[in-house]
Structure 1
Amino acid sequence: MLTTTKKQQQGFSLWGTLILLALIAFFVTILLRLYPVYYEYFSVSSIMDRIEGEQFATKSEIVKRLTATMQIDNVRRVKLDDFDIKKTKTGFTVVLNYEDRVVMMGNIDAIAKFNKQVETSSR
């Protein structure tokens, strides 16, 4: 018959607790470093969704609208150079294609790639 003592069944040891805390700290660090990148992408995505329903006569109108809205929403990581605006038969195609690099710790970086495309109509 197998006998166990109370000492063997006490739960987490000090080392187990330290490892758990280290893992929690690691994942919280990742979350805090990547959150601003994704928050800004969702802001720009929302801007693009808003211009999708609008009508524009020229490419410069789209650029002005993007510039003004990005400034109001305090978008800093995405630049106008990351947008590609092309004239189509029915309007314009606005494509956002960029990547963002975030230093995680030491010489380890995380790279997030984003791509979104919307169609607008012309007047």
Structure 2
Amino acid sequence: MKRNQSGMTLLGFLLVLVVVGFAAFIAMRLFPMYQEFYAVKSSLKGVAAEPGVSDMDPAKIQDLFFRRLYINYSESVKPSHVKIERMDGGWKMSVSYEVRRPLVGNLDVVGKFDASEPLTRRAPE
């Protein structure tokens, strides 16, 4: 009785290895962009948790935000990307920015990120 062998050939294995390697390469290029966005969101939440932030001057709020970003080594967010506007009970802080990173050759990856947080916490009395 003759049995057929089954399994993956060397060529099939190399093809799978190339696809997995390319996916890992793209993930390594994208991870820092999303890590920085997480730092932006956590900095926004940290500023929103500051006591009395709803009564602060916008320049002071922006200074607190960029101090937190500096700790997280964020380089893509600039003061022109931050918008602070008045709302009922405090402020609303929005951050909108783009990040462009080289991928392969003349191909780039562009990430567009937006985050906002209401700043309504009052000072304790």
- Provide the rounded CA distance (Å) in 1 between the counterparts of 2:2 and 2:112: 54
Q: Where does structure 1 differ by over 3 angstroms across 4 or more consecutive aligned residues? A: 3-6
Give the partner amino acid of 2:111: A
Deviation at 1:119, TM superposition (A): 1.0
2:69 equivalent in structure 1: 70
When structure 1 is superposed on structure 2, of 98-107 and 32-41 the one drifting more is 98-107
Deviation at 1:4, TM superposition (A): 6.4
1:59 equivalent in structure 2: 58
What's the secondary structure of 2:16's corresponding residue?
helix
- Provide the rounded CA distance (Å) in 2 between the counterparts of 1:109 and 1:76: 18
TM normalised by structure 2 equals: 0.84
Q: Is the counterpart of residue 34 in structure 1 residue 30 in structure 2?
A: yes
> Structure 1, residues 22-81: CA drift from partner, whole Å, max 9, x if none?
001100001100000000100110010111233232011111101211111111122222
Q: Paired residues, what number?
A: 119
Deviation at 1:88, TM superposition (A): 2.7
1:103 equivalent in structure 2: 102
When structure 1 is superposed on structure 2, of 27-36 and 60-69 the one drifting more is 60-69
TM normalised by structure 1 equals: 0.85
1:11 equivalent in structure 2: 7
Q: Is the counterpart of residue 47 in structure 1 residue 43 in structure 2?
A: yes
Give the partner amino acid of 2:31: Y
RMSD between superposed Cα atoms in Å = 1.9
Larger Rg: 1
Q: What percentage of residue pairs aligned between the two structures are identical?
A: 25
- Provide the rounded CA distance (Å) in 2 between the counterparts of 1:89 and 1:64: 22
